Structure 1
Amino acid sequence: MNFRSFQVPYPIDERYNKRVAYFSMEFAVHQPLKIYSGGLGFLSGSHLRSAYELRQNLIGVGILWKYGYYDQARNQDQTLQVTWMEKHYSFLEDTGITFEIIIHEHPVKVKVMYLPPQTFNAAPLFLMTTDIPENDYVSQTITHRLYDANVATKVAQFILLGVGGAKLLDEIGFSPELYHLNEAHGVSAAFYLYNKFGRKKEEVRKRLVFTTHTPEEAGNEKHDIYLCHKMSYFCGLSVEEVKSLTGMPDDQFNHSLAALRFARIANGVSQLHGEVSRHMWKKYDGICDILSITNAQNYRYWADKQLYKAREEGDDWSFDDRKKWMKKRAFELVADQTGKLLDPNVFTIVWARRFAGYKRANLITRDIERFNALMHNKKYPVQIIWAGKPYPVDYPAISEFNELVHLSKNYKNMAVMVGYELALSKRMKQAADCWLNNPRVPREASGTSGMTAAMNGAVNFSTNDGWIPEFVHNGNNGFVVPPADYSHMHTQEQDEYDLNKIYEILNNQILPLYYDNYGTWRQIVKNGMRDVQLQFDSNRMANEYYELLYNHK
């Protein structure tokens, strides 16, 4: 293949003719390619799969992380151990392209690898690495760890994604009509494009679109503008020029705000998140419009087709048998890791996603008396599984994980899993009768894990955040904590309210339904499977990106 005049190597559907380059720090395309940490990667992976299915003229631009995010192992007492294992991929192609960018006033060589579409049924993906002998050791480490904790390394990673990604597109001759930034990590591309197109901001705006995933201002990355300048983030522009160009007079460079001022249009990742984002950024002038395009996940990759077949044929015996078999298979992984033998006939709750404070992994354990009663309920037995990766230096989240590990030693019917990546994620969804999701409203931008849970016959039980208001009809296709006026509550009051409601709904509605009226429970499962396929398959999302974002006039 000629990588110097690259074209998407399959016929393009004319509805999706516009050439788009999609920049993301992480892509969860398939389990063997470990260059992702969590939801952002799961989303971009599904996006690439749907772009391939719909035959869109879109390519992915990312980074080849030598050690991935990290490998989640255990210490001797079963608590979390962060390990770094070098990854090797025989299925990536060497493009033969190496080019140079400037980082910290210093030339850094960038090598380009390629994931062909047919390997994992995803749109073409170009991955950059600096881990080559031509670079000094410090430059090599830029692509070692996804979201490196060292600030200078992280800024270098942002430069690589943005400036490096934009230059990569020139090197391969792809010449996109639109540069799509999935989160603001790659906004340094705007400064590269500013120089490329005659230092005219409107020329950059014509070509840039932006997806924001962060529903609170504090969560948006900010760095010292002088550090960014010293790191060569601004492609030769002075600090004064940058402040004037981005409209940021102070010394903190806000990546998301810069993206919103450089982009022609942006989007939040659920209807609620779009509203929250518009409200959050409205005090700033010069920002682009923010639409909503709700995240989705790839049905073909995630859904259990046999379960759907039994549902479509109205074969309840096969439907129940398949779900039980899926649980049994997942429980073998649980037994292998934890020595806990779970029962496929018992109602199973799963809480599994990234560990972060606002997601409140341990919420139902905070009232230990009620938790004990739940775990020892003879009439309506329950078993619970937790899984997920905290960020490797998020010590509160790690200690939350470890507290759950220690707590699990008191119960035969509670397990905490490690190694939460694509493969385990799918098995955990297949294990679940109930997919528990309890973020603090409105902190969850989208929260896509529940979509793939529904695709595997799990019922969503959630606080009313992210995508949930667009999906759950309480008691019909899932269960939702009735929203209160959280804006007038302290964090502690909000947690207490949600905790009480979770136990109330669990004990009074969900468990009696599952054990005493299984026919109705099965119907709720089926309704969720139907609704998620209709609204939250990423083919719908990838189509909306073209219709609403890329073709926006």
Structure 2
Amino acid sequence: MQSCEIAYFSAEFGLDESLPIYSGGLGILAGDHIKAAADLNVTLTGVGIFYGNGYFRQRIDEDGAQQHLYPAVDPEASVYPVRPVRDDNGRPIVIAVPLGGRKVHAKAWSVRLGSVTLYLLSTDVESNGEADRRLTDTLYPGDHDIRICQEMLLGIGGTRLLEALGIRPDVWHMNEGHCAFLTLERIRMLSAEGVPFETALEAVKASTVFTTHTPVPAGHDVFSIDQMDRYFGDYYWQLGTDRERILSLGRADGAFNMTRLAVSTSSRVNGVSKLHGDVTRELFRRWMPHIPKPDVPVDSVTNGIHIGTWLAAGMKELFDRYLQSDWTVRTADPETWRAVRDIPHQELWAAHQQAKASLIAAFGLPLDASGEGPLVIGFARRFATYKRALLIFSDPDRLARLLGDARRPVCLVFSGKAHPADGPGQELIRRIVHLSREERFKGRVHLIENYAMDRAKKLVQGVDVWLNTPTKPMEASGTSGQKAALNGVLNCSVLDGWWVEGYNGRNGWAIESAADADAELQAARDSEALYRLLEEEIVPLYYKRGERKLPMDWVNLMKESICSLAPVFNTHRMVDEYRNRVYIPASARGKRFAADGFEVASRVAAYKQFIRSQWPGVHVRKVDLLADNSSRIGLNKSAFRAEIGLGAIWHKDVRVEAVGSDGRQGIWKARLDPVQQLAKGVYVYEGSSPDVAIDIWKANVNVRVTPVSPDFANEFEMELSAWG
């Protein structure tokens, strides 16, 4: 298989709780990604920031208020050896980054995981002033000036660090938009070698890929144009073009959007689940309104989890005994997991009870740790309002009856942090603390403070049901439920994110949720569906005991959950998918664009500049629908005829299509070919309707002209279309 070297940039990496430089899902995913790359011997270099005080340690006070503590992160305490990066003479490698007219220096730490090295930058360097030494203290600071400095350090500084280390990646993977300034630095480096800006942009774009994780506009980092000018004033000119051209790469809604910059400078963009890819296409349409949503160039690679990190010791011991001896290196093969069905029910249930007892003991929960203990439902994730932690409390009296049934007791275990600047999220935590103290919920509702990887492991391994109730479709992917499923914990979730792909009707429960413009109405419907599932299906099934007091049907669901979900939602499958679908094509593309003195990049740049300059002259002058088969190429179908004015653009440099609605929120397309030249730059195009069952008169048909090139990464790379 073709090999290539990957640079993987992310603002956070969650490797282990002993290195708390992550806040949540994005960092855990990044950590799992590089662990899987190491398992698969992928040549990958990670780049991030060493946060001196990390993400905050959470403490909940008597009133339920979240307190934010920032103890210093001790690299010596990490399970993974963290070492300073030095040159051949043993001196620390220090790079300089321009920040608002001054130079800030950064050193680096390294973490080695097999074939993968993770480099973490820190500005805690003696040559910096005190304020600059504190720039990398905390993750996701609320101060926008510190935030832009961190992102310049990550993108620009990270690129300079790789250059100083002599690392020349074939592919640059941006995990979220925080690191997108790396593309500007790569352009600057090429500009310093005499490569024109537009050529450098195409060369950088060819070898850059971008993964977006955020399905809502508010989740994307945005800086004011004034901020950009203050921090990049002495940097713009070094890129070989003017300020306005650089700002145009990220300008959106009057500000500079880091996601927009990432999209503008990447040849491949992907969401993190199939549904998220669809949501992202709708989100990005505001930047390219002339392109229908199905054509917006966003793909998807569904997230997974690193099995070696999240599997309970007892479960691993069980799998070692019953699965093939090499199962840990064949986790993406469904055949590997079929043997789970042959594990005796009693042994699988005992392994789960062992994990449940470990959970209860670790957090001192006042619960019976035996198999006769209550059904435990876990809800643990970041406390953001859209995750709806309080949905299950929509009808407190109904919930109290469910939890307090002496014959079939149920308890809820919550855990999670809210961002220090997220007041509504912190209020959710306070509310749960207060509810847990109400007489009807005492001993049945518990909140575990300081959610981190060590606590997450206990929870995903030891609860019986993993609850997930986001407002659909705001969950990009979610991976905590995947970790739970691996351990035989059953998911009960809104059909959002990864669960849309994972749920098969036999491996857990789906809260049927139709997105509604009225949030209260949607919440009412979702809570009713949740209560019905708990009362009529989940609780009765858990307490339905067979021989040896085993919940035989429940264990069958556990087996189905593991067999159907483990081989798909793991990072070995995910990284292999990135390697084959994203990295190898981007590597080949990047090398082709850079070869022979950037010949292809130069040609594409010139072509795009010409097309942009001439595009205002492209017009669809006339469109006729010929249902009487009178066209030259109509074959008993509806046919289309369009007169297109192309001006100076060659007719083979555009694609002309009839585009219509398929009646199912999708579109159909029929190619139109040039059949006649009416005048200089004016052509007649004709084509017939596709072989689909459509009412041509109700399909809202129009004709579209799009620039094309065999060198484009996708059909809509220029984000240009002219419509009739």
TM > 0.5 = yes
* 1:337-486 correspondence to structure 2 within 5 Å: 340-344=366-370, 345-410=373-438, 411-474=442-505, 476-484=506-514, 486=515
Aligned to 1:505: 533
Q: Secondary structure at the match of 1:511?
A: helix
Higher relative contact order (CA 8 A, sep 6+): 1
Aligned to 1:263: 266
Q: Under a length normalisation based on structure 2, what TM-score does the superposition of the two structures give?
A: 0.71
Q: Secondary structure at the match of 1:461?
A: strand
Contact 2:341 2:559 in 1 (8 A): no
Q: For residues 69 and 352 of structure 1, do their structure 2 counterparts lie closer, same or farther at Cα, with a shift above 3 Å needed?
A: same
Q: For residues 267 and 234 of structure 1, do their structure 2 counterparts lie closer, same or farther at Cα, with a shift above 3 Å needed?
A: farther
Contact 2:236 2:243 in 1 (8 A): no
Aligned to 2:229: 229
Q: For residues 501 and 390 of structure 1, do their structure 2 counterparts lie closer, same or farther at Cα, with a shift above 3 Å needed?
A: same
Q: Does 1:533 align with 2:533?
A: no
Q: Does 1:188 align with 2:181?
A: yes
Q: Does 1:243 align with 2:247?
A: yes
Counterpart among 45, 56, 70 of residue 56 in structure 2: 70
Counterpart among 117, 121, 134 of residue 113 in structure 2: 117
Counterpart among 7, 14, 19 of residue 33 in structure 1: 19
Aligned to 1:324: 353
Q: Partners in 2 of 1:278 and 1:234 — Cα distance?
A: 35
Aligned to 1:10: none
Q: Residue 235 of structure 1: CA displacement? A: 3.1
Q: Residue 515 of structure 1: CA displacement? A: 0.7
Q: Partners in 1 of 2:252 and 2:561 — Cα distance?
A: 49
Q: For residues 154 and 264 of structure 1, do their structure 2 counterparts lie closer, same or farther at Cα, with a shift above 3 Å needed?
A: same
Task: Give the letter for the 1:538 counterpart.
Answer: T
Q: For residues 493 and 282 of structure 1, do their structure 2 counterparts lie closer, same or farther at Cα, with a shift above 3 Å needed?
A: same
Q: Residue 307 of structure 1: CA displacement? A: 4.6
In structure 2, runs of 5+ residues without a counterpart are 86-91, 323-339, 546-550, 590-724
Q: Partners in 2 of 1:499 and 1:307 — Cα distance?
A: 37
- Cα deviation, 1:472-521, whole Å, max 9, x if unaligned, reads 112x101001232x24x401111111000000011001111111252111
Task: Give the letter for the 2:182 counterpart.
Answer: A
Q: Partners in 2 of 1:218 and 1:94 — Cα distance?
A: 36
Q: Partners in 2 of 1:364 and 1:250 — Cα distance?
A: 37
Q: Residue 178 of structure 1: CA displacement? A: 1.2
Q: Partners in 2 of 1:312 and 1:94 — Cα distance?
A: 48
Q: Residue 530 of structure 1: CA displacement? A: 1.5
Q: Residue 109 of structure 1: CA displacement? A: 0.4
Q: Residue 431 of structure 1: CA displacement? A: 2.0
Q: Partners in 1 of 2:150 and 2:481 — Cα distance?
A: 30
Q: Percent identity?
A: 31
Contact 1:442 1:465 in 2 (8 A): yes
Q: Residue 420 of structure 1: CA displacement? A: 1.0
Q: Does 1:99 align with 2:103?
A: no
Aligned to 2:363: 334
Q: Partners in 2 of 1:492 and 1:136 — Cα distance?
A: 51
* 1:6-25 correspondence to structure 2 within 5 Å: 14-15=1-2, 17-25=3-11
Q: Secondary structure at the match of 1:62?
A: strand
Counterpart among 303, 311, 315 of residue 311 in structure 2: 303
Contact 1:188 1:234 in 2 (8 A): no
Aligned to 2:208: 208
Q: Partners in 2 of 1:169 and 1:490 — Cα distance?
A: 49
Contact 1:27 1:42 in 2 (8 A): yes
Q: Partners in 1 of 2:48 and 2:218 — Cα distance?
A: 25
- Cα deviation, 1:89-135, whole Å, max 9, x if unaligned, reads 123111121111111111000101111225xxx72100000012211
Task: Give the letter for the 2:49 counterpart.
Answer: I
Aligned to 1:520: 553
Q: Partners in 2 of 1:449 and 1:186 — Cα distance?
A: 25
Q: Secondary structure at the match of 2:236?
A: coil
Task: Give the letter for the 2:511 counterpart.
Answer: V
Q: Partners in 2 of 1:247 and 1:402 — Cα distance?
A: 38
Q: Partners in 2 of 1:447 and 1:250 — Cα distance?
A: 29
Bigger mean CA offset, 235-244 vs 377-386: 235-244
Q: Residue 220 of structure 1: CA displacement? A: 1.7
Contact 1:206 1:263 in 2 (8 A): yes
Q: For residues 247 and 512 of structure 1, do their structure 2 counterparts lie closer, same or farther at Cα, with a shift above 3 Å needed?
A: closer
Q: Residue 250 of structure 1: CA displacement? A: 5.5
Q: Does 1:542 align with 2:545?
A: no
Q: Partners in 2 of 1:498 and 1:131 — Cα distance?
A: 48
Q: Partners in 2 of 1:406 and 1:298 — Cα distance?
A: 36
Q: Residue 191 of structure 1: CA displacement? A: 1.0
Q: Partners in 2 of 1:216 and 1:30 — Cα distance?
A: 28
Contact 2:485 2:561 in 1 (8 A): yes
Q: Secondary structure at the match of 1:108?
A: strand
* 1:266-285 correspondence to structure 2 within 5 Å: 266-285=269-288
Q: For residues 247 and 513 of structure 1, do their structure 2 counterparts lie closer, same or farther at Cα, with a shift above 3 Å needed?
A: closer
Bigger mean CA offset, 273-282 vs 39-48: 273-282
Q: Secondary structure at the match of 1:390?
A: coil
Q: For residues 307 and 82 of structure 1, do their structure 2 counterparts lie closer, same or farther at Cα, with a shift above 3 Å needed?
A: farther
Q: Residue 77 of structure 1: CA displacement? A: 4.5
Bigger mean CA offset, 378-387 vs 307-316: 307-316
Q: Partners in 2 of 1:371 and 1:306 — Cα distance?
A: 37
Bigger mean CA offset, 100-109 vs 342-351: 342-351
Q: Residue 282 of structure 1: CA displacement? A: 2.7
Contact 1:265 1:288 in 2 (8 A): no
Aligned to 2:332: none
Q: Partners in 2 of 1:131 and 1:342 — Cα distance?
A: 48
Q: Does 1:80 align with 2:66?
A: yes
- Cα deviation, 1:247-294, whole Å, max 9, x if unaligned, reads 737530011111111101110000100111112213424998311100
Counterpart among 523, 541, 550 of residue 495 in structure 1: 523
Q: Secondary structure at the match of 1:350?
A: strand
Q: Residue 73 of structure 1: CA displacement? A: 1.7
Q: Secondary structure at the match of 2:347?
A: helix
Contact 1:263 1:288 in 2 (8 A): no
Contact 1:340 1:413 in 2 (8 A): no
Q: For residues 380 and 261 of structure 1, do their structure 2 counterparts lie closer, same or farther at Cα, with a shift above 3 Å needed?
A: same
Contact 1:271 1:294 in 2 (8 A): yes
Contact 1:159 1:233 in 2 (8 A): no
Q: Residue 463 of structure 1: CA displacement? A: 0.3
Q: For residues 82 and 307 of structure 1, do their structure 2 counterparts lie closer, same or farther at Cα, with a shift above 3 Å needed?
A: farther
Counterpart among 133, 140, 147 of residue 133 in structure 2: 140
Q: Secondary structure at the match of 1:142?
A: coil
Task: Give the letter for the 1:340 counterpart.
Answer: P
Q: Partners in 1 of 2:479 and 2:302 — Cα distance?
A: 10
Q: Residue 393 of structure 1: CA displacement? A: 1.6
Bigger radius of gyration among the two: 2
Bigger mean CA offset, 46-55 vs 517-526: 517-526
Q: Residue 229 of structure 1: CA displacement? A: 2.4
Q: Partners in 2 of 1:319 and 1:132 — Cα distance?
A: 52
Task: Give the letter for the 1:541 counterpart.
Answer: M
Q: Does 1:289 align with 2:297?
A: yes
Q: Secondary structure at the match of 2:104?
A: strand
Q: Partners in 1 of 2:252 and 2:408 — Cα distance?
A: 60
Q: Report the RMSD for the aligned CA atoms in angstroms.
A: 1.9
Q: For residues 249 and 315 of structure 1, do their structure 2 counterparts lie closer, same or farther at Cα, with a shift above 3 Å needed?
A: closer
Contact 2:470 2:494 in 1 (8 A): yes
